[in-house]
Structure 1
Amino acid sequence: MPKRIDHDLRRRQIAEALWRLVAANGMEAVSLRQVAAGAGVSMGMVQHYFTDKEEMVLFALSSLTEQVGRRVGEALADQDDPLQRVRAVLVQTLPLDDERRLEARVAVTFLARAPVDEKIAAHLRSGYAEGHAYLVEQLRAAGVPDAEQEAFRLVALTDGLTAHTLAGHHAPAEALAVLDEHLARL
């Protein structure tokens, strides 16, 4: 009987290898060959799933977005309070553990690439708009004045905390404390 191959799993393994490569060496280190080596597969296998580097990079970005989205969904499942829902979303983007630190390093790299790559920029704009709209909805439900501007502030605060935590300026627990202090003021 022929061996069944889980193509989604293979594509995911390749995407995760790309994440590790980006997190360790930046976007300029990404090549089909380097990702194949990182995934422990042949170059031919990578080319079977992705026609070029751009397609592979965009798939890796989409996979990262989906992974964070799944975790956010799980975190929201137990939350009824709108401000706790806001917190649950934002906490999932802070680099508080190894998994989120890897995701944050990759996300920051994609964000830095967006000004020169319209496809990455478009993907990030779409995700940002969706996330911002959700935050605004929850902030309004919590009765927060000027929910639209507060959502902008919260995303900027979280992005800044992420960047500075990744740079080692403060510990993850300190970043979480700053976010919690801000949310408590609302």
Structure 2
Amino acid sequence: MREVAQEAGISHGALQHYFASRGAMLSFAMDFASEQTSQRVGLGLQELGDRPHPRDVLRLMLAETLPLHADARATSRMSAAYVLEALHDEDVHARARGGLLQGRALVEQLIRRAIAAVPGRIR
């Protein structure tokens, strides 16, 4: 946290006023990154039109998880730090697990929709 405070140009105490721990700071950063990613996906969905094919939605979402641009690279680095923190912090571990399970469920749902939308598929 001292390094973050130094980089931000504030005292360690001032940083602790906002974040009680490294885990709290990482959780905030991950929440912020998730919001930014959701906004980018939302804009991408608007570009896909009113009724995008589930395959296109899946492609868009998965592309946003790859470090293909500056925001996604920053999110990727934060995610790595978050996962490392989760190894030692039960609260961070629970949050990380919940987020991963939610993401997995969404991807599974999109894959099922994409398969169901294949023309001529026997149901």
Instruction: Report the TM-score, using the length of structure 2 for normalisation.
Output: 0.76
* Aligned-pair CA distance for 1:108: 2.1
1:48-127 → structure 2 map (5 Å cutoff): 48-79=17-48, 80-127=52-99
Q: Say whether residues 1:133 and 2:102 are aligned partners.
A: no
Q: What is the one-letter code of the residue matched to 1:95?
A: P
Structure 2 unmatched runs, 5+: 117-123
Change in Cα spacing, 1:74 to 1:63, as seen in structure 2 (3 Å) is same
Deviations 1:131-159 (A, max 9, x none): 22222222222226xxxxxxxxxxxxxxx
| DSSP-derived class of the 1:41 partner | coil
Q: Is the 8 A contact 1:95 1:104 kept in 2?
A: yes
- One-letter identity of the residue aligned with 2:12: M
Q: Which moved more, 1:90-99 or 1:131-140?
A: 131-140
Larger relative contact order, structure 1 or 2 (CA cutoff 8 Å, min sep 6): 2
* Cα drift, residue 57 of structure 1: 2.6
CA distance 1:135–1:59, shift in 2 (3 Å): same
**Structure 1 residue 96, shift from structure 2 partner:** 0.9
Give me the whole-angstrom Cα distance separating, in 2, the residues matched to 1:42 and 1:135.
Answer: 42
Structural RMSD (CA): 2.0
Q: Structure 1: state its 5+ residue gaps.
A: 1-30, 145-186
Return the offset for 1:44.
Answer: 3.5
The 1-side partners of 2:106 and 2:41 are apart by 12
Inter-CA distance 73–39: structure 2 relative to 1 (3 Å threshold): same
Q: Find out whether 1:36 has 2:36 as its counterpart.
A: no
On the 8 A contact 2:23/2:89 being kept in 1, the answer is no
Shift of 1:125: 1.5
Q: Does the CA-based 8 Å contact 1:72-1:92 persist in structure 2?
A: yes
2:81 and 2:20 mapped to 1: Cα distance? 22
- What is the number of residues matched between the two proteins? 113
- In the alignment, the residues of structure 2 paired with residue 104 and residue 94 of structure 1 have an alpha-carbon distance, to the nearest angstrom, of 8
Letter in 1 for 2:87: P
Deviation at 1:45, TM superposition (A): 2.5
Q: State the identity as a percent.
A: 35
Aligned to 1:150: none
* 1:119 partner amino acid: D
- Deviation at 1:105? 1.8
Cα distance between partner residues in 1 of 2:26 and 2:114 = 38
